[in-house]
Structures are given as C-alpha cells and as structure tokens.
C-alpha cells in the first residue's frame, strides 16, 4: 500500500479497495448489497438465490428487505442479495427494472421467476415453489 504522506500534490493517490466476500446469507446476517461486478458470483453462490432490486428512497423496498432476510434465515439452500438500481444501472437495464421492489429468483444460476411489489412469507414460499 502507498503511504499517502509521501505523495506530492502532483502524484495520483491510491486508495484501498474494499472487497466484499460472496458467501450465502446465514442466520442473523443482513442481506448483502451487490453491484454489477458481483452479480454473477452472487447468483451462482447457492442453489437458490433471490435478488431484490431496490433503491434507498423506496419505502416498499425497505419493508420487503427484512421479510426476505427472515425467510432466507430459515433455509440453508437460499441466499438473498440486494441490487441498488441507482448504483447498478447496467443490471437495472439488463433486468428491465421499471418498478421496484422487483424480486428475481435464480436456481443454479438461471433466472426462474420474478415478481414486482411487496411479498409476505407465504407469497415468497409460493414464488420459490414455481
């Protein structure tokens, strides 16, 4: 790592990069936020993966996140991730995000199902069963 105190004003500064590990959610953990570069690793991280497309300003998104986290904490075969559509515009375009929250289900890395809007645990169970 470069010692920034040794740099002159004309030098470029090197800032450390924080790397987030891509591991499945375990009981008690929060939903992991992923970006364009993390996406493929995330959807292949477990046999069943739910990705919530959301934004910080979205009220229904904030209410849906704990429902997804609680549901995933009861299942070892399920991981949940969140994509901020304002930060990950490539993914937002790829998945044609026009309304949020949008939840997309992946099984073994392939998209299986999608839903827009709020979901309770019963609706999540049916969503995953399809």
Report how far apart the first and last C-alpha atoms of the chain are (Å, whole number): 49
Place of tokens 């995000």: 97
Could you list the active site residues? Answer: 58, 61
Mean pLDDT computed over 64-84: 92
pTM of the model: 0.76
Percent of the chain with pLDDT over 70: 77
What pLDDT is recorded for position 74? Answer: 87
Find out whether 74 and 121 touch, Cβ atoms under 8 Å: no
Name which of 26-30, 52-56, 101-105 the model is least confident about. Answer: 26-30
Torsion from C-alpha of 30, 103, 70, 62, nearest 10 degrees: 60
Q: For domain 25-129, give the CATH superfamily.
A: Glutaredoxin (3.40.30.10)
Query: What is the total residue count of the chain?
Result: 130
């Amino acid at each position: 790592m470069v010692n920034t105190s040794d740099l002159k004003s004309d030098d470029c500064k090197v800032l450390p990069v924080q790397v987030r590990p891509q591991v499945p959610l375990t009981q008690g953990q929060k939903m992991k936020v992923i970006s364009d570069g993390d996406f493929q690793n995330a959807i292949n991280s477990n046999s069943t993966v739910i990705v919530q497309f959301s934004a910080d300003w979205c009220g229904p998104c904030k209410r849906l996140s704990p429902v997804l986290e609680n549901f995933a904490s009861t299942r070892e075969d399920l991981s949940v991730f969140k994509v901020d559509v304002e930060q990950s515009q490539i993914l937002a375009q790829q998945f044609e995000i026009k309304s949020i929250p949008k939840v997309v289900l992946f099984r073994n890395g392939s998209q299986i199902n999608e839903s827009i809007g709020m979901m309770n645990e019963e609706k999540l169970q049916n969503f995953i069963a399809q």
